Copies of this chain bind each other. A is one copy, B any other.
Amino acid sequence: MKPFILVSNDDGYSFDGIKVLIDVAREFGDVMVVAPLNHQSGKASSISVTDPLRVIKIKEEPGLTVYAVNGTPSDCAKLGLGVLVGDRKVDLVLSGVNHGYNQGSSVLYSGTIGVVMEGVLAGIKSVAFSYGEYGPEGDFSPCIPYMRDIINKVLTNGLPQDVALNVNIPLLDEPIKGVKVTTTAQGMWTNTWDHRTDPRGMDYYWMLGEYIERDPNDETTDVFWLNRGYVSVTPIHVDQTDFQSMSALSKLLE
């Protein structure tokens, strides 16, 4: 039997990035898309606890079914894996291609990453793809050979248990230089705020931000290698326990 692949994203089912991912996924197997109806950037692993989810079937043809859901990326992955795929075993969860990088501490806020977290929690091999094209449309074709190669290797060789891949592909004027296995750069968004007054005299704030990397010379990070023209592949997991501070913490709380 062909592999069965669940595809989602956070930009919404109609964006160019997910269309390219669907095309590449179909080279490897049967594809079910369960993606947000509307744009869901910055939703992290949020789930709809108090709102019901609605499902719209957008398309059905041999080897491809597309659903849109009025929820978050994690909602889509959960409803897809829990209901919409039925009894068929899912071999691979793919997320993206995100319009914009999910590098450094952006990973914390990423709905694209939220999808693959649901994949690994369900014990399924899972890969997120992001590209440095931030516009609503764009030429995603430079991503295709790298996506194809990584999907092929993951389907053939598997992945370590509980590990998903966060793949970022650089937007360049020149050819991409290669692929690096990387860590997630540490840093933070220094948010600036655009403080305005609405026509009724009420204040409001727009969140803006600039990413400040802690150590730009750290040669292990996704940001370092993306800046130098390489695809970054970062293994990520769900557990955020800081194991190495446990004994220090026991003393601190004595």
Residues in A lying within 8 Å of B, measured CB to CB: 39, 41-50, 52-55, 72, 74-75, 78-79, 82-83, 105, 107-109, 111, 114, 117, 121-122, 150, 153-154, 157-160, 162-163, 165, 179, 181, 183-184, 186, 188-189, 191-193, 195-196, 202-207, 233-243, 245-246, 248-250, 252-253
Contacts and interface: CB of A to CB of B under 8 A. Distances in A.
A105 B238 contact: yes
A191 to B, nearest CB: 5
Which of A39, A50, A75, A239 counts the most B-chain CB atoms under 10 A from its CB?
Answer: A239
Nearest to A161: B245
Q: Is the interface of A mostly helix, strand, loop or mixed?
A: mixed
A39 B46 contact: no
A181 B105 contact: no
B179 A54 contact: no
Contact of A233 (B53, B55, B249): B249
